[in-house]
Amino acid sequence: MSTSASATRARRATPATILHYWVAITVVAGMAFPLVWMLYSSLKTNQEIALTPLALPAAFRWQHYVEAWQLGNLGRLYLNSLLVTGVSVTALVMIASLAAYAFARLRFRGRDALFYLLLIGLLLPAQVVIIPLFFLLRDMGLLNTYWALILPYTSWPLALTIYLLRSYYLTLERELEDAARIDGAGLFQTYVFVMFPLVRPALATVVILNLVNLWNELLFALLFIQDEQLRTLPAGLLAFSGYYIVDYRLVFAALSITTVPILVVYFLFQRQVIAGLTTGALD
Amino acid sequence: MDSSSRAATHRGRGGITRSRAARLEELQKYLFILPALALFATFVLLPLGSALYFSFTTWDGLRTPEWVGTRNYARAFADTIHVRSYVNVGVYILGTLVVEVAFGLLMAVLLASDRLGFAFMRGLFFSPMVLSMVAAGILWKYVYDYRTGLLNEALRAGGLGDFAHPWLSDPGTAMAGVIVVSGWKYAGFFMIIFLAALRRIPTSLYEAAMLDGATALQRLWHVTLPLLRETTIIAVLLCVTGGFAAFDLFFTMTNGGPFNATEIPTTWIVKQAFDRHNMGYGAALTVIMTVVVGVVSLAYLLATRRRHAVEY
């Protein structure tokens, strides 16, 4: 790689530098363009989109956003997604951290066997259980309730989350923990007041990882919730795009409404989000 | 019992009261893992076991399942669409290895610069990762649209109108269309993984290579790539296992069509189970998929490890 070597020469615009910029900008702009196209198409009329797909809008028709928001019941979808992912991620991380601490630091009979059992979950794609899971939830009377998503969403990422948090707990110094124990703190006190606060950096990472994955989850959401009022964003957006498939402006507006806020949050917390989404692959 | 033996050692040191406290604490330890294990057992292990059971039955989801032995498995191997779904997913995985892993590596090399604007370009390149597959799939369906799509319109504007094509409704190009969207979505992920690996390579190696008169391309080939081996192994594994688990993009864009040209195991399983109510057959297909994914990952890891051992 010539980067570090040429850092000293960065001020001068050599032909190589210009070529480097030109190639990089072309590729990245090309990749980003579909999103830009989506944004400005959402402000055009259907006729404009059909006749001149590439042209910029003649006027900014923001009312498409109001229409899509109301017709697609997008407020409700957002609320459902916030609720389901919020509850799932909170429960998941609490439960996973507790278990990860035990697997990392406590000694008890059967610990390693149970940990390996849990690791099975790392290898399995969730698709392999959709059929029995559907009937399990049906028999529990939970289909078409938020629980039909919250329970699987809390359970399925446990293996990876515990695995990641456990490796972080293993890196922590033992001294604080030992000091708390000598001072007479019980196991739970030691965990809650000493260890849990220390694991916060790793917690942020796994929260982001699971937040993004669960926010975007489709398969469970599609199969376990049929009630339109309870749908999450991906399932609702898919239904909306099927229903208004030729009403381009509405689909583009709905797409923009559901993607732009996520992209804004991403660009605000870019470093943390990238760290969160690539964790596990990097260690 | 571990708890009692541990308590016994405590008794030796601290007497009866101490031993009761120790035994209590021994039990407390299990409370740490209890919630996780209970959820994992109920919503992961139990369904996994039932899938195995259902795979030996015929069941419509309403009446009681009827035991049919291995008939579902025999049917699976005779089901030409099912067999074809593995060919299709194989093509998809090979395609994504190029547009996600290889392209991601290329972009890592291209964008690994401290010059002004490169951090922003990396961020932009990664951004599709945070979007849902559904949003990506819907957007790209419009990009590929024959009449009003971005792609065909760009071709026409560039004087290449003859190449305008109904990408997703032609069985010959539909899979390629899905693969490209996969690359659009995930290349940024692999770029970051390779970027992290590139940053770990000591600059002294490059300086030594430059002193030896190696060109930029030679440095890339003889220094960078060999040192990215470990990362590449992980990246390929992630891409392959992720490929088998693909569903959202296919369901959103083509749902297996046209004429099963993009039918993959997961879309076929969902159709069998939830459209045709063949729960037993669907379960057998999931068991087959689990075995295939397991065997492929294991074989890959073993193969790469052995080559590794020969090399050093």
**pLDDT, tens digit, for every residue of B196-252?**
999 888 888 888 888 888 888 888 888 888 889 889 988 999 999 899 999 999 999
Per-residue burial over A181-206, b = 16 or more CB atoms within 10 Å of its CB, e = otherwise: eeeebebeebbeebbeebbeebbebb
Mutant choice from B29, B34, B43 vs A, greatest count of A C-beta within 10 A: B43
* Residues of chain B predicted below pLDDT 50: 1-14, 308-312
- Residue in B with minimal Cα distance to A221: B248
pLDDT score for A99: 96
pLDDT score for A11: 58
Would you call B121 and A258 a contact, using CB atoms and an 8 Å cutoff? no
Round to the nearest angstrom and report the end-to-end CA distance of chain A.
23
Please list every residue in chain A whose beta carbon sits closer than 8 Å to the beta carbon of residue B3.
109
pLDDT score for B215: 86
pLDDT score for A79: 97
**Which residues on neighbouring strands pair with residue B66, listed in sequence order?**
B58
ipTM of the complex: 0.90
Q: How many residues are given for chain B?
A: 312
| Residue B187 near residue B103, CB atoms below 8 Å | yes
Per-residue burial over A221-238, b = 16 or more CB atoms within 10 Å of its CB, e = otherwise: bbbbbeeeebbbbbbbbb
A56 touches B: beta carbon within 8 Å: no
pLDDT score for B9: 46
pLDDT score for B14: 47
Structure tokens that stand for A149 in this block: 């998503």
B245 touches A: beta carbon within 8 Å: yes
Mean pLDDT split into 10-residue runs, chain A, 283 residues: 47 83 95 95 91 89 92 95 97 96 92 91 86 94 96 95 93 87 86 90 92 95 94 96 91 95 94 87 61
* Residue B293 Cα distances to B238, B243, B300, angstroms: 12, 10, 11
Would you call A274 and B192 a contact, using CB atoms and an 8 Å cutoff? yes
B117: left (phi over 0), alpha (psi -120 to 50) or beta: left
pLDDT score for B200: 87
Would you call A125 and B245 a contact, using CB atoms and an 8 Å cutoff? yes
CATH top-level class for B79-311? mainly alpha
* Residue A64 Cα distances to A69, A77, A148, B280, angstroms: 8, 18, 33, 46
Name the residue ranges covered by the structural domains of chain A.
Answer: 3-67, 72-243
B residues 138-157 near A, CB within 8 Å?
138-143, 147-150, 153-154, 157
| Residue A61 near residue A45, CB atoms below 8 Å | yes
B residues 56-115 near A, CB within 8 Å?
61, 107, 109-115
| Residue A267 near residue A84, CB atoms below 8 Å | no
Residue B230's Cβ-count burial label (10 Å; 0-12, 13-18, 19+) is exposed
Question: What is the C-alpha to C-alpha distance for residues B133 and B119, in angstroms, rounded to an integer?
Answer: 25
pLDDT score for B202: 87
B225 touches A: beta carbon within 8 Å: no
Question: What is the C-alpha to C-alpha distance for residues B164 and B161, in angstroms, rounded to an integer?
Answer: 5
pLDDT score for A78: 96
pLDDT score for B52: 93
Name the residue ranges covered by the structural domains of chain B.
Answer: 79-311
Would you call A274 and B126 a contact, using CB atoms and an 8 Å cutoff? yes
Q: Among B43, B270, B290, whose Cβ lies nearest the Cβ of A152?
A: B43
Q: How many CB atoms lie within 10 A of CB B36?
A: 27
Would you call A50 and B147 a contact, using CB atoms and an 8 Å cutoff? yes
CATH of domain A72-243: 1.10.3720.10
pLDDT score for B25: 83
* Residue B130 Cα distances to A117, A267, A274, B242, angstroms: 31, 10, 9, 16
Would you call B32 and A99 a contact, using CB atoms and an 8 Å cutoff? yes
Q: How far is A100 from chain B (nearest CA, A)?
A: 8
